[in-house]
Amino acid sequence: MRRDFGSVLSSGSFIVEADGGSRGNPGPAGSGAVVFDASTGEVLVEVARFIGIATNNVAEYVAIIAGVEQVFLIDPSANIRVRMDSKLVVEQMSGRWKIKHPDMQQLAASLHEIIRGRVVQFEWIPRELNGHADSLANKAMDEESDSVKLFTKTQQEAVPAAPIAEFNSESPSSVRAPSGVTEPLTTVILVRHGRTALTESKRISGRGGANPELSSAGIQDAKTVAKELGKVGRSSLWSHLPEIDAVVASPIARTQQTARIIAEELDVVVSTNDDIAEISFGTWDGLTHAEAESLDPEIWKSWQGSWQVSPPGGESLEVFDQRVGNGISAIVTEHAGKCVVVVSHVMPIRGFVKRALDAGISAYWRPQIAPCSITIIRFWGNQAAETVVLNSTAHL
């Protein structure tokens, strides 16, 4: 991940973004700090510290100490600009406000000792610009543990662990992939909507039917996957991916509702693409499989595995495939060079997988796509594609 900080400090300089939080104030508290190379905006270190029972301001001081200590491990003579959204701590460390709280006095004294004789500046930033450090503070509180993640200075992703050791952040990862790819990379994170009453009762639910909203379990599904998506480009299994820029959803109620929950967590905007709506099941919508088969036994038998047969009043795979293909092309083109979450349904997500694998008709029934599962595909326009994750449900 790279950040543009403009013209700051000088060569051999670093940015520390720091934040702390307390659930109860005082209550269980955590600190987060991110170290950046000031000249490139490249992330070098992420630190999360669980403190125990403390106030927000104490946690904020601990965050600064954690960040600057990491910088001086990299370069003992470094210049540092500390950025945070706590006006109180910035003014206190800049010498303009007095420090009255005993715990904060002790931490401030420790910090002054660490930075004595070094160039360290303090800058206030709005809260919305300090989300990375805030997410690390919340991680510490959620997990009640400490963590330090080191990044290379020449790569956007973390020093790779074994599962992603062969991941290429710019080009197709396989050495067997055709060379000469020139189109920009679009990272597409596909999320199926959360559960509905029809999902839970194992009834057919397509485009143009009852259009149910999420059930209470489905709302929780969406909140859970939203939290997981907040880690993309930052931590956990997804630290090697770019951060999310946008959310695109099908026009159907359950996907729109899921997308809004995700977008609120990520602080991005939701747009709608009609072509990635679920396939239409016509008069079978709302029925169980057994009920649909009983209603139209001959059509049901010929429809299974067919490219051209459609349910009464519904869509054939041939028609649907053309529609969802248009949606895929539009999304990849519109978000070229970006990372986008696409909130859709079982069949459109299988359509993305089919396109990525250059697969045949069976791609429309072989992959399992669970509610609020995560599937990740990288597209270089129409030139190349790479399936990174299929139907990940570990977060659920």
Active site members: 193, 278
Q: How far apart, in whole angstroms, are the C-alpha atoms of residue 71 and residue 13?
A: 9
Residue showing tokens 């990940």: 392
Give the C-alpha distances (Å, rounded to integers) separating 47 from 20, 70, 222: 11, 9, 28
For the record, the structure tokens of 81 come out as 């600009």
Q: How far apart, in whole angstroms, are the C-alpha atoms of residue 325 and residue 351?
A: 7
Q: Cβ(268)–Cβ(247) under 8 Å?
A: yes
For the record, the structure tokens of 62 come out as 């601990």
Give the C-alpha distances (Å, rounded to integers) separating 76 from 33, 39, 43, 79, 261: 18, 17, 18, 9, 44
